[in-house]
């Protein structure tokens, strides 16, 4: 909250924030691919599910091991519980993730004719797919304009006043309503890069920040 009690930036201030981030951050790199570098919507969804509370290196090990065994919902369901769990163990929370993967595959086959939904609402109806995962798949796999909110993006949004919410999903809803359309294609990249480089969890670099004069984070002073 700012000194004047505000928790949200004005529309003009939001435009200023994204304009400055566009100039200061590299944005989407030429080689950026789907979530966890997966080539199709099904594997993108599974990789997103496995990435929850998992380091990228561990997620990569789990997805590689799993997709060596199965690459479609039909073949995934032929795996025994032991085979599935053994493959995804590096990603952690393997019991709950295995259950979600099975439910996801069943629903995909029985209710979607094996085709992954290409809308946010459709994706979020699927087992194991929350708002963040849906937005990542929308942005990377279906090339739709969506800003996925992870820990870094959520921190930047609530500190600066771009958006507010008690969860990443609520912050994402707020950000989607408030962010200008022109910023949505690369907004995720600018915000996550800014969160990792400048607006860090500990000891944010407020004195050198390009948003210092518009940010509502009181500690910047």
Residue tagged active-site, from 36, 61, 97, 132: 132
Residue 132 CA to residue 202 CA, distance in Å, equals 23
For residue 48, is it within any domain?
Answer: yes
Same domain, 58 and 80: yes
For residue 1, is it within any domain?
Answer: no
Per-residue pLDDT at 34: 46
CA 58 → CA 36, 83, 127, 150, distances in Å?
Answer: 11, 17, 22, 18
For residue 2, is it within any domain?
Answer: no
Per-residue pLDDT at 28: 77
Residue tagged active-site, from 150, 166, 181, 196: 150
For residue 5, is it within any domain?
Answer: no
pLDDT tens by residue, 70-122: 999 999 999 999 999 999 999 999 999 999 999 999 999 999 999 999 999 99
33 is catalytic: no
Chunked mean pLDDT (size 10), the chain, 221 residues: 75 97 86 62 94 89 95 96 96 96 97 95 95 92 90 95 94 96 94 95 93 86 58
Indicate the residue among 99, 115, 141 that finishes a domain: 141
> Would you state the torsion angle of the CA atoms of residues 195, 201, 206, 211, taken in this order, to the nearest 10 degrees?
30
170 is catalytic: no
Same domain, 79 and 133: yes
Q: What is the CATH number of the domain that holds 152?
A: 1.10.1670.10
Same domain, 85 and 133: yes
Q: What is the CATH number of the domain that holds 88?
A: 1.10.340.30
For residue 4, is it within any domain?
Answer: no
Same domain, 136 and 42: yes
Domain extent at residue 127 = 35-141
Same domain, 100 and 21: no
Indicate the residue among 83, 107, 141 that finishes a domain: 141
For residue 135, is it within any domain?
Answer: yes
């Amino acid at each position: 909250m700012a000194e004047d009690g505000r928790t949200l930036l004005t529309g003009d201030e939001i435009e200023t924030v994204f304009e400055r981030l566009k100039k200061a951050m590299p944005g989407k790199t030429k080689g950026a691919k789907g979530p966890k570098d997966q080539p199709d919507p099904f594997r993108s969804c599974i990789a997103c599910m496995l990435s929850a509370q998992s380091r990228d290196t561990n997620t990569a090990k789990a997805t590689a091991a799993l997709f060596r065994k199965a690459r479609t919902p039909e073949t995934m369901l032929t795996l025994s519980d032991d085979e599935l769990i053994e493959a995804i163990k590096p990603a952690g929370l393997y019991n709950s993730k295995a259950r979600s993967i099975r439910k996801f595959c069943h629903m995909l086959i029985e209710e979607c004719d094996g085709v992954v939904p290409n809308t946010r609402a459709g994706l979020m109806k699927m087992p194991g797919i929350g708002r963040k995962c849906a937005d990542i798949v929308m942005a990377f796999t279906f090339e739709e304009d969506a800003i996925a909110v992870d820990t870094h993006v959520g921190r930047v949004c609530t500190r600066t006043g771009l958006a507010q919410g008690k969860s990443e999903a609520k912050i994402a809803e707020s950000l989607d309503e408030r962010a200008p359309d022109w910023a949505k294609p690369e907004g995720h990249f600018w915000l996550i890069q800014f969160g990792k480089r400048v607006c860090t969890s500990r000891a944010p670099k407020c004195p050198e920040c390009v948003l210092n004069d518009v940010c509502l984070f009181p500690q910047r002073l």
